[in-house]
A and B are shown apart, each in its own frame.
Chain A
Amino acid sequence: MSNSNSHATGSPYAPQTAAETAAMLDAVGADDLESLFDVPESVAFDGEFGIDARSERAARREVAGLLGRNADLTEFLGRGHYDHYVPSVVDDLASRSEFLTSYTQYQPEVAQGFLQALFEFQSMLVELTGLGVANCSMYDDATALGEAATLSQRVRSVSGDQILVPEHLREGKRAVLSNYADGPDLTVESYPMTDGVVDVPALADQIGDATAMVYAESPTVRGVIEERLGAIGNLAHDHEALFCLGSDPIALSLLERPADVGADVVVGDAASLGTGTAYGFGLGMFVTREEYLRQVPGRLVGASEDAADRRAYTLTLQTREQHIRKERATSNICTNQAWVALRTAMHAAWLGPDGLVELAEDCVTRARDLADRLDDIVGVKAPIHGRHHFREFLARTDQPASAIVADLAAEGFAVHAVDDHLVQVCVTETTADATDEFVAAFREVAK
């Protein structure tokens, strides 16, 4: 192995010298390293993986070579994964090894820093939603939605196994929900939407005594700001169902407070703050009412006191969790997305309330402005829903959507194809500077 450090063979991160290894083998009474493995001959592996070791520089070069095959595109993409500018200070502080290389805070006395940061994260979500309890994280928005569905079944006073979800829902999110619904035998059904928002009368017809949870999103996967959340919440509560709202922390900085529209659970992706595009890498937000506290999945940080009577933080209510409660746990989640939550809290604090509200306002106005500009193009209608939008919107194109996507890619831009003649366009501060070129390219490919 080509190494830049002195350990010429083996793992560069196993620091024993050959002399130390020999002395340690002697101390444990073993002849050699192989004799330490208590593996029967019949299952022992005597082959090779065939993986060549690389120097650090070569490993980096190899990754660079591979990733260099990704096209260099300016992404006007959203649909659940968003690129917002992350300030350098977030990368810098989150990379401190005391944060990055620590783990679940089983010894809170030497983990006060991370616990406090997570407590602050929980508190920010409490402010954003108006609900009393936020956990430290789920994996992403889809798994958080799955957990909400199973929670709805556990907390409901009467039996019910129906989960109602909007017709406009990202396919991947719905597919994850279906897997979570499989074990507890929940059924997932769609209710209709009309002109981009929930068709409330149709939902009223569909909801029934078997409904355990109604899920709605604002903004929707199409970027539409839902207008009748309060009515949806009332319908759910009239049927003893939970109202679960999907959103994200930037949208929540400006849009109606979930508590004010009757939301019982808020889920969504919170990595839109703190982590830029990362191929779908997320941070599942899970916030709910205090009355469901003992049914919440995942880690919770609480305040307490130490022996010197000073405020201190600790993981709490762990009897809900798998390492204590085993098959009766509220979820199987153990490793979560704590470090992503740390980054989100840092980014939110860096922006402050003014910055968050301003960013959210920009999400509304940038989408509006870009839709207007695309609408001016012959062969394009945007937005197709006459609603308020957040970050993104649908456009109808005379050209097939697949051709628009391919032709724009050739010009260095990416958009979503949603249907035969529907494309979806998302704009944030990271692409705002490129809108002139984007509109010009769109004009060419829309002909």
Chain B
Amino acid sequence: MKYDQARWTDDSEDRYEPLLSEKASKTVDIEDSSLPDDLTRDNLSLPDPAEPELARHYTRLSQMNYGVESGPFPLGSCTMKYNPSFTEDVAARADAAIHPGRPDSTVQGTLALCHRLQDYLGRIGGMDAVTLQPPAGAAGEFTGIQIAKAYHEHNDDERSEVVIPDSAHGTNFATAAMAGYEVVELPSGDDGRVDIEALEAAVGDDTAALMLTNPNTLGLFERDIEHIADIVHDAGGLLYYDGANLNALLGRARPGDMGFDVMHYNVHKTFATPHGGGGPGAGPVGVREELAQFLPNPHVRERGGNYEHYEPDHSIGKVHGFYGNWPVLLKTFAYIARLGDEGLRDASAKAVLNANYLAEQIEYEVPFGPFHHEFVASAGEQDAADAAKRMLDYGVHPPTTKWPEIVDEALMTEPTEGETRRSLDQLAAAFNAVASDSDAELADAPSRPAAKRIDQATAARNPRLSWQALDDT
């Protein structure tokens, strides 16, 4: 009964944790300020818990939250692998807590570590130069597409379109639009991969880039990748690699060797930095040599044993106010150093084996294949969102649902390398129990977590986004 999360008694009225504002709140009038009255506010009204109350509040909230250490978390496309504890200690070091305004000569350790991480990521992705600045995967995409844009502009080559397969992450489409491009959506072929004929029809003089995930969101390797690269390059476009699925390929294939010109790495996926309830992550971007001149400002280089920041000749400028999500980059470095070649290769091998093993054990139809790190099952006649809620009753976190849309009632499942055979068997048992449950059981789910099915429609129809808004209702 993992998710009953009862406090003292299961049916108690305060089974839920009250808001901080409901526990202890206070209004302070701003008086006797050292500033003139016309520069200050009148008062401030905020929660005022004592530290013991604060500790209980957040401890209770944590108990109402499912993380990777709570159990299997096969959220497809998110790579919810175990986050090694020691990397937290690394990031918490006092000598890592430095200010970005220091002269380079006083931060040689930080710059050396960044330089080494740039080098590691370059080797892993087969890229010639890597910037660490983008603070998330989508920020990496934006950086990469701005680099592609700068490259074309540098060549006086006006291009207006970015081509993206229909199975791609939503961020790809949004990124291209943010950078001012028109999006050309590419329908997938019958085998779930890029349809070469459709690609040839879509790509042309207006194509700035093709954004591609490989293996794609169905877990399928784009076997025609070299042909795809030729088509895009022959038209003068660049090939962008969305690194969300890189955990599938470590040491087996590298984007640079496949013909990609620009890529981002999702370090919170591939390199096990914790997802933090939504972030922070980091989205370093790797490029081929000829694109290095467009990298964000500043870039780190080594000169005679010293490290320094410099501005690349035709830099796109900045994508983060300072140098990116430094503590996350530290954790990334520590993880890569811990695993090394052998560990990274093993992580991918076990991630792929786990996905294939799980796909084999579950009774839902699993179209396409062969799979790498993830697969997309179909809930068939069931509603995938309902099936997911029912899985909560069986004590596991459900997969990503209803996406990608090319599989009906999709259950996009990525178990990662962090599961044993036993936990995969339990996960499969949960899938299979749900598969044979009735529609009524699915519609009533979940019954075991503290919160029952949450009404999303009302939340959107009547937005109440703060405790101040609750007072009005």
Contacts and interface: CB of A to CB of B under 8 A. Distances in A.
Contact of A333 (B84, B136, B251): B136
A110 B449 contact: yes
19 contacts: A33-B352, A38-B370, A40-B226, A50-B123, A56-B84, A66-B113, A77-B99, A97-B70, A107-B66, A110-B397, A113-B61, A128-B44, A139-B135, A184-B180, A276-B97, A280-B323, A310-B16, A337-B276, A357-B44
A39 to B, nearest CB: 5
B174 A13 contact: no
Interface in B115-167: 116, 120, 123-124, 126, 135-139, 141-142, 146, 149
Most buried by A among B138, B266, B454: B454
A133 B174 contact: no
A27 B346 CA distance: 19
A257 B27 CA distance: 15
Contact of B279 (A73, A111, A338): A338
Interface string B167-178: 001110111111
Contact of B343 (A53, A96, A254): A53
B109 A122 contact: no
B382 interface: no
Contacts of A122: 465-466
Interface residues of A, number: 193
A68 interface: yes
Given A45-B252, A175-B297, A305-B454, 18 more contacts: A15-B418, A33-B349, A44-B252, A75-B101, A87-B51, A99-B276, A102-B275, A103-B75, A137-B278, A139-B136, A143-B320, A279-B110, A312-B451, A333-B139, A335-B283, A338-B278, A352-B49, A414-B102
B433 interface: no
Interface in B13-49: 15-17, 19-21, 26-28, 30, 33-36, 38-42, 44-49
A192 interface: no
Nearest to B92: A91
B69 to A, nearest CB: 4
Contact of A335 (B92, B126, B268): B268
A11 interface: yes
B357 A110 contact: no
Contact of B55 (A49, A93, A340): A93
A421 to B, nearest CB: 18
Given A306-B454, A323-B170, A255 B40 contact: yes
B282 to A, nearest CB: 9
A317 B139 contact: no
B419 to A, nearest CB: 7
B436 interface: no
Contacts of B171: 322-323, 332, 334
Contacts of A124: 46-47
A324 to B, nearest CB: 7
B452 interface: yes
B440 interface: no
A287 B385 CA distance: 31
Interface stretch (A200-208, A295-303, A372-380): A295-303
A33 B34 CA distance: 69
Interface string B309-325: 00000001111111111
Given A332-B171, A332-B175, A332-B178, A141 B321 contact: yes
Given A11-B339, A11-B344, A317-B463, A282 B321 contact: yes
Contact of B346 (A11, A52, A97, A339): A11
A235 B149 CA distance: 36
B112 interface: yes
Nearest to A135: B465
A349 to B, nearest CB: 5
Given A327-B183, A339-B278, A112 B123 contact: no
Interface in A10-30: 10-16, 20-21, 23-25, 27-28, 30
A301 B403 CA distance: 22
Contacts of B342: 1, 9-10, 53
A176 interface: yes
B459 A353 contact: no
Contacts of A103: 73, 75, 78, 80, 275-278
B141 A332 contact: yes
Contact of B278 (A12, A105, A278, A331): A105
Interface stretch (A78-86, A159-167, A237-245): A78-86
Interface string A311-345: 11110111101111111110111111111101000
B98 to A, nearest CB: 6
Interface string B78-95: 101111101011101101
B310 to A, nearest CB: 15
Interface stretch (B230-238, B285-293, B328-336): B328-336
B454 A109 contact: yes
B62 A414 contact: no
Given A303-B464, A333-B136, A12 B19 contact: no
A99 B179 contact: no
B145 to A, nearest CB: 9
Contacts of A118: 277-278
Contacts of B281: 335
A426 B59 CA distance: 35
Contacts of A53: 337-343
B306 to A, nearest CB: 10
Nearest to B48: A352
B317 A302 contact: no
B304 interface: no
A334 B402 CA distance: 18
Given A16-B350, A36-B356, A97-B67, A326 B170 contact: yes
B48 A353 contact: yes
The 5 closest A-B pairs by CB, nearest first: A280-B322, A53-B340, A10-B346, A339-B276, A338-B278
Nearest to A133: B465
A175 B318 contact: yes
Contact of B178 (A67, A316, A331, A335): A331
B96 interface: yes
B30 A38 contact: no
B83 A100 contact: yes
A140 B321 contact: yes
B177 A328 contact: yes
Contacts of B261: none
A109 B392 contact: yes
Nearest to B95: A67
A49 B124 contact: yes
B277 A39 contact: no
A60 B90 contact: yes
A110 B66 contact: yes
Contacts of B336: 51
A43 B225 contact: yes
Contact of B465 (A16, A300, A321): A300
B212 interface: no
B231 to A, nearest CB: 15
B327 A15 contact: no
Contacts of B326: 278-281
A187 interface: no
A96 B400 contact: no
Nearest to B134: A139
Most buried by A among B27, B69, B89, B328: B69
Contacts of B225: 40, 43
A311 B469 CA distance: 13
Nearest to B168: A326
A140 B322 contact: yes
